[in-house]
Amino acid sequence: MTSPRCVRPEVLDNLTPEDPKARRSRRDLRRVHRAMRSISALNHALSRLRLAAHPKSILELGAGDGSLLLRLAAAVRPRWPGVKLTLLDRQRIVNSETVESYRRHGWEVTTVCEDVLIWARQSARQRYDLTVATLFLHHFKESELRELLRGVVSQSRAFIAIEPRREMLAKVGSRLIGLLGTNAVTREDAVKSVDAGFIDDEITAAWPFTDKTWWTQEFRVLPFSHGFIAAQNNVRLTHG
């Protein structure tokens, strides 16, 4: 039997951006994303969405240093030209080199330093074609998760989340993450992340079905991830 979600504060979230342990952990996360095949997971989710046209405006929630979607930008070039990307995080850690790298791929980048729950409570300033969250939703307990997802519904046309999957394979992987050369912060947070992860239709249960204009899907993504996609009815979406 799978244990219930257990959301605990992660060490990295409480370190200042300048802390050497935080800098090292952010570098570690790039290796973690590769080990988890996060870009492959995003591409798989995009294939399930089957968007009729490539998104012109994308928002990443909990974007961190912005390096993950930079790999996506490289992967979809030149099929996705002229994307306007907004990177939202409560810490301002996206550097100028990263922004310039996006520009070389033809993407225009705006960084927003804001708490995501404050963002979610605001009236929609714009509606993004696609909102993405990778290894981010698991930080939130149920009430906060519902509030965050209400913000996604009000400000997006489609949504992808790739999260830790709360099952034995991921639990074992989280305890072996030191083999990647990660520091103590990353090792501790990896275990906490899986304990707070998702299975089955747990994200769907938090999705605000205030109307019937959205479809949702949840699915396993090997080796360690849990995927969730949602889209408005007028956005092409594959079922099953």
**Mean pLDDT along residues 19-35:** 96
Please, what are the domains in the chain? Answer: 11-232 (3.40.50.150)
Range of lowest pLDDT (167-181, 199-213, 214-228): 199-213
Q: Is 237's pLDDT higher than 80?
A: no
Q: Is 239's pLDDT higher than 60?
A: no
Q: Considering only the C-alpha atoms of the chain, give the largest distance between any 2 of them, rounded to a whole number of Å.
A: 48
Q: What is the pLDDT of residues 66-125, one digit of tens each?
A: 999 999 999 998 999 999 999 999 999 999 999 999 999 999 999 999 999 999 999 877
Top-confidence residue, 239 or 148: 148
Name the residue type at position 175: R
A 10 A CB-CB count for 52 gives 8
Token duo for residue 171 = 């639990």
**What pLDDT sits at residue 195?**
98
**Mean pLDDT along residues 165-169:** 96
- 31: Cα within 13 Å, side-chain hemisphere: 15
Instruction: Tell me if 228 sits within 8 A of 205, measured CB to CB.
Output: no
**What pLDDT sits at residue 159?**
97
- Tell me which DSSP letter residue 221 carries: E
**Cut 0.85: pTM above it:** yes
Q: How high does pLDDT run on average in the chain?
A: 94
Token duo for residue 113 = 């330093």
Percent of the chain with pLDDT over 90: 89
Q: Is 64's pLDDT higher than 60?
A: yes
Instruction: Tell me if 221 sits within 8 A of 229, measured CB to CB.
Output: no
Question: Sign of the C-alpha dihedral, residues 172, 175, 177, 181?
Answer: negative
